[in-house]
Structure 1
Amino acid sequence: MDDVSGPVVVRLNEVRKRFRVRKDNSLKDRIVHLGRQGKTHREDFVAVKDVSIEIEAGTTVALMGANGSGKSTLLKLIGGIVSPTSGTVQTRGRMAALLELGAGFHPDLSGRENIYLNAAILGLSRAEVDARFEDIVEFSGIADFIDTAVKFYSSGMYVRLAFSVAIHTNPDILLVDEVLAVGDEAFQRKCMDRIARFRAEGCTIILVSHSAQQVAELCDRGIVLRKGEVVHDGDVDEAIGVLRDVLEGRDEATVSETVDAAPINVASVEILGVDGERNRTFDSGEPLTIRLGLRSARPITPWAAGFSINTPMGHMVFASNTDLLHTPLPPIDGELSIDFRVGALHLGEGTYHVHANAVAPEEGGVHGIAHGATFSVRTPEPTLGTATADVAVTVG
């Protein structure tokens, strides 16, 4: 994670959130248990366990984890929607939150009336809303339905209007839950572009997303939660890898055992630009270097290493290794780095993940890293698919 010198705008100190959950959810159960000891049919569920984090102004942070990991509850704690059972939550600056579909909207009021209501909740005066009203409606794209009661809106119309109101409050801190997954692809792209602009303008953004592509494209820090506890806080590429371990049931002990068992470990994966510096965004066809950091506990030969470039959906678009390239390798003993310089790889626009592995065939062990690094590709003209090329059109 890059060093950030901005002031702290969100501070959580030993925050815990406990909910009381009923076991007798059906009417029959409640009648049967009526008059009995209440505690028997209730249990405590700790959604967030003693979390302490600080978020600096101008950063974009992703809260990641499996369903039920506590990330949405943590976002609500930051937004002041729920109060902590213990610990403290401190924030500074104007905050706008998109935590639930249509949150803050009254179903019987029209879209127009809800704009004024929701904007007032977010801290805008009527004069400020008047000045921004046309921009809010234009961005939402639902001008034809602005005087219709929102209870008749589709889920997509809800999220369009809610997001449009939130971003036009010019917040210092923007909280975004998975609501962006509801809109169509064009609107999602529009929202992503606006969030990217907010980021460039210094707005602090905290978002919950299951999309590795969104996280890699927007965020500079990833916080991974597991059963209410922070298991990783740092570099986004590393966070995506930790999330994959969590989702696939590989805990720290299992990962540690795998690493200890492997004769050669892939310690790191970096994407470098032509200047030799780490880079996340490339033009299609621009050279890049994939640097693997390797480690062995003893001298090993022969050995090999390689990488693959995959789409967020897991489809391999390119791969290579030292065996395929007939690269002679010296014995590895301790730490060593190996660079794969990839020239003129014409990838289509989008986000790609780099997986890496190392193998010692005579030692009988292989170690790999999934989502070791992530980068995005730009194309001068819009394209479809995972490859791009110069296309000329002749009519006649």
Structure 2
Amino acid sequence: MSNPPRVASMHDLPTIVRVQDVSKRFVLHKDKSVKERLTTFGRSRRHVRDFWALREMNLDIVSGSTVGLVGHNGSGKSTLLKVIGGIIQPTTGTVVRRGRMAALLELGAGFHPDLTGRENVYLNAAILGLNKFETDRNFDDIVEFSGISDFIDTQVKFYSSGMYVRLAFSVAVHVDPDLLLVDEVLAVGDEPFQRKCMDKIAEFQAEGRTIVLVSHSSDQVGRLCDRVVVLHAGSMVHDGDPAEGIRILRDGYEADRINKIRSLPTATATARLNIASVEAETNTDDGHTNVVVKVLVNVVESITGWGVGISIETTLGMTLYAMDSFGMDVTLPTSVGQHVIELTLPDIRLGSGKYLVSVGLGLPTGENFDRKNSAASFDIPTDDYGMGLIRLKPTLTLAPLVQ
């Protein structure tokens, strides 16, 4: 009996991009004006500083993969994408790329403001490697996908940012690229167009094309990418599993949040009521996930009728749940001193990820004593049944076919 055919792994696929020992240095001038730069020219390097945006980067991207580049602002992800695209040259190291590439790196890049949308389609397509015959053949599809046919003969300097992105993305995906580079520009388009873009990217993935994506949306990266590269200060800190990469990124955001809170002045410590600390943790009870929020309150002056408000938010600031104690049958302490208020949210059905807790103290009249935004956080583990903002346990059954 012959052996079954071996399923190809990612290691068997050809490499479409190879980044080897790449570093990128920018020279930053501290002079405030051209005049200052001219007067100090040749004297010293006191007004010049080297900034290394990338340091000894090594990255192989195989054909057919979707790679997400993530990191804090200034981590080097957009610089790396531009180096891969050949927009900027590395200071040291080499980049080898094969196949036809299309890039969406900056809003309006490759467009001339004084040309019409029609003329810019031909210009941009030529830059991306299409000849006039190929552009003629794809022109109607490009315009239809962009949805701006009424403005195609208008100079693009009169376009909105959303129209720019629509036309640029439409050209990029219709030049039949082997490699598509996408920076954060897709966030500019409206929601229906973003859905159309996501559908097109999914179509590209099904066709085995390679995509390198820079995004601040953890949900978008987790949904689209089979590999995540996390950058920090120009260096690679993770390359591999998307879930682990997103966890590392969120932990970095959490560390920044805590450092920011610690650096804030404690002016509210003398308020009649103030928040000393906030803690949030999860526990599992009979298969259900509960969130427990503990608020340590300083009662400096005896006040009756005060209440506590708590909100749960995503790391992007979206409020998922908010409540206050005024409608609850509970009387909060009025004696001077420290008191712990514990709130339990039972059987919380949030999707996997990190969530933030904000807390406030006040009166039902609207008077506020203290508020701490993003005062604590908690993690919901990865769900085996799906992804998103909510968590479900679906059932799957086979219904008989009715003849």
Which category describes the TM-score, using the shorter chain as reference length?
A: 0.5 to 0.7
SS at match of 1:37: coil
Residue 63 of structure 1 pairs with residue 69 of structure 2: yes
Pairwise CA RMSD? 3.4
Between the aligned partners of 1:65 and 1:105, the Cα distance in structure 2 is 28
Task: Name stretches of at least 5 consecutive residues in structure 1 with no aligned partner.
Answer: 251-291, 293-303, 318-344, 357-367, 380-384, 390-396
Deviation at 1:233, TM superposition (A): 0.5
Between the aligned partners of 1:129 and 1:151, the Cα distance in structure 2 is 22
Aligned to 2:382: 373
Between the aligned partners of 2:175 and 2:385, the Cα distance in structure 1 is 30
Deviation at 1:223, TM superposition (A): 0.2
Deviation at 1:6, TM superposition (A): 1.3
User: Which structure would you say has the larger RCO, counting Cα contacts within 8 Å and 6 or more residues apart?
Assistant: 1
Q: TM-score, normalised by structure 2?
A: 0.65
Aligned to 2:126: 120
Between the aligned partners of 1:207 and 1:231, the Cα distance in structure 2 is 17
Between the aligned partners of 2:50 and 2:391, the Cα distance in structure 1 is 52
Change (3 A) 1:165 1:376: farther
CA displacement, residues 173-210 of structure 1 (integer Å, 9 cap, x when unaligned): 00000000100111111101101110111010000000
Aligned to 2:146: 140
Match runs of 1:40-119 below 5 Å: 40-119=46-125
Aligned to 1:13: 20
SS at match of 1:163: helix
Change (3 A) 1:131 1:241: same
Deviation at 1:248, TM superposition (A): 2.5
Between the aligned partners of 2:290 and 2:209, the Cα distance in structure 1 is 36
Change (3 A) 1:352 1:39: same
Deviation at 1:245, TM superposition (A): 1.5
- Contact residue 250 and residue 354 of structure 2 kept, 8 A: no
- Contact residue 228 and residue 241 of structure 2 kept, 8 A: yes
Deviation at 1:34, TM superposition (A): 3.3
Residue 22 of structure 1 pairs with residue 26 of structure 2: no
Deviation at 1:26, TM superposition (A): 3.2
The amino acid that maps onto 2:19 is: L
Q: TM-score, normalised by structure 1?
A: 0.66
Between the aligned partners of 1:121 and 1:235, the Cα distance in structure 2 is 34
Between the aligned partners of 2:385 and 2:152, the Cα distance in structure 1 is 37
Change (3 A) 1:387 1:378: closer
Change (3 A) 1:144 1:355: closer
Deviation at 1:353, TM superposition (A): 1.9
- Contact residue 63 and residue 224 of structure 1 kept, 8 A: yes
Deviation at 1:247, TM superposition (A): 2.0
The structure with the larger Rg is 2
Change (3 A) 1:239 1:386: closer
Aligned to 2:235: 229
SS at match of 1:127: helix
Residue 37 of structure 1, aligned match among 34, 43, 49: 43
Deviation at 1:316, TM superposition (A): 6.6
Between the aligned partners of 1:100 and 1:375, the Cα distance in structure 2 is 36
Change (3 A) 1:378 1:89: closer
SS at match of 2:75: coil
Between the aligned partners of 2:25 and 2:290, the Cα distance in structure 1 is 44
Deviation at 1:352, TM superposition (A): 3.5
Between the aligned partners of 2:189 and 2:244, the Cα distance in structure 1 is 29
Between the aligned partners of 2:134 and 2:165, the Cα distance in structure 1 is 22
Between the aligned partners of 1:374 and 1:189, the Cα distance in structure 2 is 24
The amino acid that maps onto 2:23 is: R
Aligned to 1:353: 352
- Contact residue 115 and residue 165 of structure 1 kept, 8 A: yes
- Contact residue 240 and residue 371 of structure 1 kept, 8 A: no
The amino acid that maps onto 2:155 is: A
Q: Which segments of structure 1 move beyond 6 Å, counting only runs of 4 or more?
A: 307-312, 314-317
Between the aligned partners of 1:315 and 1:130, the Cα distance in structure 2 is 48
Aligned to 1:201: 207
SS at match of 1:205: strand
Deviation at 1:373, TM superposition (A): 2.8
